[in-house]
Amino acid sequence: MVYYDAAETLSRVEIERLQLERLRASLKQAAKSPFYAKHFAACDFDPASVATLADVRRIPFTTKQHLRDSYPDAMLAMPLSEMVRMHASSGTTGTPTVIYHTQNDLDWWASLMARCMYMAGLRRTDVFQNMSGYGLFTGGLGIHYGAERLGCLTIPAGAGNSHRQIKLLTDFKVTGIHIIPSYALYLSAVFAELGIDPKSLSLRIALVGAEPYTEETRRRLEEIYGIKAYNSYGLSEMNGPGVAFECQEQHGMHVWEDAYLAEIVDPATGEPVPDGELGELVMTTLGREGMPVVRYRTRDMTRFLTEPCPCGRVHRRIDRLHGRCDDMLIVKGVNIFPMQIERVLMAMPEVGQDYLIVLERDGYIDNIRVKVEIRDEYFVEDMRQLGALQKRIAARLRDELLVTPKVELVERNSLPKTEGKATRVLDMRGNGA
Amino acid sequence: MVYYDAAETLSRVEIERLQLERLRASLKQAAKSPFYAKHFAACDFDPASVATLADVRRIPFTTKQHLRDSYPDAMLAMPLSEMVRMHASSGTTGTPTVIYHTQNDLDWWASLMARCMYMAGLRRTDVFQNMSGYGLFTGGLGIHYGAERLGCLTIPAGAGNSHRQIKLLTDFKVTGIHIIPSYALYLSAVFAELGIDPKSLSLRIALVGAEPYTEETRRRLEEIYGIKAYNSYGLSEMNGPGVAFECQEQHGMHVWEDAYLAEIVDPATGEPVPDGELGELVMTTLGREGMPVVRYRTRDMTRFLTEPCPCGRVHRRIDRLHGRCDDMLIVKGVNIFPMQIERVLMAMPEVGQDYLIVLERDGYIDNIRVKVEIRDEYFVEDMRQLGALQKRIAARLRDELLVTPKVELVERNSLPKTEGKATRVLDMRGNGA
């Protein structure tokens, strides 16, 4: 086994010793910021009181709202003049959240990202096309700096412009890409229109992230492109991409525990859930100097995988994301994650690349309607056959969801397409929902 | 005087000694590429025969077409696996041109860019908002790496989304920006709509480049924003931004002669023009290892400024660009550069921020029509006053151009707006032009 960084070979004991040491330093650093000085005091928490990793449960949480309240810079633990980069959320749903980085922070982030890419099998000899939007969004520059650090020939393609993406992929014999899953599916349709088989490219490896997607979609992408697709997890509050990544086992994402402290808690109570159970991921930066963030409630639902990983790395793995706490739909009193619906649909060969979940209210009753794109070869004239397919999809969804959705079959390309993150849920129930 | 880099304080003799040494090394390096090996041989040119800087005239030119013919990588002087970045033109007018960089090349480029920014008065304590599009276009990442290298807090805002740009400028007390001139004018209109005076911001310095613009437009921007605006010159073939930049004298742009060899030639004959005369800028990379480009015909028209610069730097200055050889319009047998028209218009207080040059054919006769946006306060009901203004503009344009254009006055916001580079010339004369 080859590793990029000696940190990957640490034992459990070494990781935990390092984590405790870095957690204590991080808390001390955080306390220098106006926000944490006040927050820790208000919660009667003394950073110096943390003596073991078990003490982490006594540290107060940080929420998205705290980040918003700290706008623009109350979480800075060092002078603004020491910062060299800023990333911000779009703020479309309120005040933006802003994360600052010093040069050391950027170096650390780039090396974590390079470590992820190396683990997925990329090397300095690879040609890597980054299809993320650049700018304030962390996916672009985050992946870019990692790819350059690793020494790949990095093509900063940015988002959109599918014909150009395909020209670059072809002409420069690109071997690795970073792409969001819905765009990868969309792009496969453009390849089909151009009459190019994506398997004829030099592509070996795709890094896939930025939106939740299912194992079934991954297998589809791997088949369409003739590649290995590796899941990536990151969030701007923890820098961006490079937080957790799949190794070549493709079974769960290793969290870099020398850089982040990960916990999984019950989203309702904030108490830790037993290892292996589903809960909300809570993350702490270990080593970010400019703007440490402590016990951040990510709202992302996942679980720790408990078995040792055959790759030899002991950094703990999290399961693929099950969506966000906030994504959970409640229909007829039943909790539903959109990912459950995607999992069912993508396992059926008749189903195309796209679907849309519509929540409706019929009088006092909530209904769930799923519009499902059907592959051309199954979109036959015979209404009886289509009717049978519709019933089969509805039955499988009912088995998974425990409520019966209305299923509507639609032709290819009839659902609204997007080059960015796909819209998968349309809630038509109005404000009362 | 404070300098960022010791290279800024070199004497003329030292610069020329360094240039000769680096030119010889560059030619040797270039000759390792398939393109130059062939090109030099075809032109009967022996790179080792260059003994003095005067010998540069014997070196064959490189044109845009050569770059296109070398697509995708025939100009590489080192193995592809040593490259870590690629930039490409959009290729909308044919095969894209592609430039590759090694890690050393990127470091060198970032330090040249940081040197430019420092010369314009930016320091590591500045907050810098980069309003260039990122990705394959060099303006985004080029400026970004320079700003980070200098240690500014760098906000990778990217292009467009004016309301967000203004929110960032305001909330983060931005002191420096990179912006293209037509967008700076457009943004001033958005400020006006929002009822915010741009002079109320913390802004001190704008780096302005990527499209030709006049001194009159610069003074307008300086007045509107209450800033100093510094001209920037670069082109992707010579890395991108960071090739030549104004010092605080704001009079001509210093070419970094330790990094680039600049010549000015007659675009028709390729022979050097006397110092101070207008001609086509020809550039050679001195020190780029991955992909040296030798005697590149930029198509950009400028002249050397011959007086010593009071700033103390002896790196030669080029005048603001007079447009591109290809931009020159021929109307009724007279050569016209669009910049001449802008210069006249922007010097008149009645004229707003926008204009459009339309070339028309009336039978066998070419006409030039200039649509001119008039400021609200001058756009009066009285037709006689408007008629007089129209005549005054036409007369001034005739004095400058030696042909009489038709002048059409239009209201604010009635010309098509763009957030990217402005379209200033519309040629309606058909293919026969």
d(CA B253, CA B245): 4
Best to test chain A binding among B71, B82, B86, B101 (most A CBs inside 10 Å): B86
Shortest Cα distance from A123 to chain B (angstroms)? Answer: 10
With beta carbons under 8 A apart, name residues in chain A contacting B151. 84, 103
pLDDT above 50 (res A321): yes
Q: Which residues of A touch B84 (CB under 8 A)?
A: 148, 151-154
The beta-carbon neighbor of A134 closest among B71, B103, B158 is B158
The pLDDT value given to residue B347: 87
Q: Pick from B234, B284, B224: which is nearest to B260 by CA?
A: B284
Asked if B145 contacts B112 with a C-beta cutoff of 8 angstroms, the reply is no
Pick the residue from chain B with its C-alpha nearest to A124: B81
Residues of B with CB under 8 A from a CB of A: 71-72, 80-81, 83-88, 90-91, 100, 103, 106, 124-125, 127, 134-136, 140-141, 144, 148, 151-158, 164, 167-168, 171-172
The answer to whether residue A118 scores a pLDDT higher than 90 is yes
Q: List residues bridging with B254 in a β-sheet.
A: B245, B317
pLDDT given at position A431: 46
- The ipTM assigned to this model is 0.84
Query: What is the per-residue pLDDT across A171-211, written as a single tens digit (0 to 9) for each?
Result: 999 999 999 888 999 899 999 999 999 999 999 999 998 67
For position A228, what pLDDT does the model report? 98
Contact list, B157 vs chain A (CB under 8 Å): 135-136
Which residues in chain B touch residue A156, judged by CB atoms under 8 angstroms apart?
85-87, 134-136, 141
Residue scoring higher pLDDT (A384 or B128):
B128
Q: Could you say which DSSP state residue A172 is in? A: T
> What mean pLDDT do residues A106-132 have?
97
pLDDT at residue A433 greater than cutoff 50: no
A158-174: per-residue pLDDT in tens?
Answer: 988 899 999 999 999 99
Buried b / exposed e along B240-272 (16+ C-beta atoms within 10 A): bbbbbbbbeeebbbbbbbbbbbbbbbebeebee
DSSP state of B311: T
What is the second-level CATH architecture of the domain A328-427?
A: 2-Layer Sandwich (3.30)
Residues A104/A289, Cβ–Cβ less than 8 Å? yes
Q: Is B111 helix (H, G, I), strand (E, B) or coil?
A: helix
For A413, residues 6+ apart whose C-beta sits below 8 A from its C-beta are A189, A373
Residue B432 confidence (pLDDT): 40
Nearest CA in chain A to B137: A156
Half-sphere exposure of B112 (CA within 13 A, CB side): 29
Query: If pLDDT is split at 50, 70 and 90, which confidence band does A91 have?
Result: low
Mean pLDDT, chain A, integer? 91
- Residue in chain B nearest A149 by alpha carbon: B84
Q: Which of A135, A134, A180 is nearest to A154 (CA)?
A: A134
Which of A92, A104, A132, A155 to mutate to probe the B interface, most B CBs <10 Å? A155
Same fold, B1-326 and B328-427: no
**pLDDT at res. A149:** 98
Distance (Å) from the C-alpha of residue B152 to the closest C-alpha of chain A?
5
Q: Who contacts A387 (Cβ-Cβ below 8 Å, separation ≥6)?
A: none
Question: What is the DSSP pairing of strand B425-427 with strand A153-155?
Answer: unpaired
φ, ψ of residue A19 in degrees (nearest 5): -60, -45
Q: What would the two tokens of residue A326 be?
A: 């906030």
Report CA torsion sign: A349, A352, A354, A359.
Answer: negative
Cβ-count burial A204-231 (b if 16+ within 10 Å, e if not): bbbbbbbebbbbbbbebbeebbebbbbb
Residuewise pLDDT in 10s, chain B (433 residues) = 689 999 999 999 999 999 999 999 999 999 999 999 999 999 999 999 999 999 999 999 999 999 999 999 999 999 999 999 999 987 666 788 999 999 999 999 999 999 999 999 999 999 999 999 999 989 999 999 999 999 999 999 998 889 999 999 999 999 999 998 889 998 999 999 999 999 999 999 999 986 767 888 899 999 999 999 999 999 999 999 999 999 999 999 999 999 999 999 998 899 999 999 999 999 999 999 999 999 999 999 999 999 999 999 999 999 988 877 777 787 877 778 888 888 889 888 899 888 999 888 877 777 899 999 998 888 777 788 888 999 999 998 988 887 889 999 998 888 877 666 677 888 777 644 3
pLDDT digits (tens, 9 = 90+) for A271-306: 999 999 999 999 999 999 999 999 999 999 999 999
Provide residues of A within 8 Å CB-CB of chain B. 71-72, 80-81, 83-88, 90-91, 100, 103, 106, 124-125, 127, 134-136, 140-141, 144, 148, 151-158, 164, 167-168, 171-172
Looking at residue A399, what is its pLDDT? 84
Question: Residue A354: which pLDDT band, with cuts at 50, 70 and 90?
Answer: confident
Per-residue pLDDT band for A213 (boundaries 50, 70, 90) equals confident
Report domain extents, chain B: 1-326, 328-427
Query: According to the CATH classification, is domain B1-326 in 3.90.1490.10?
Result: no
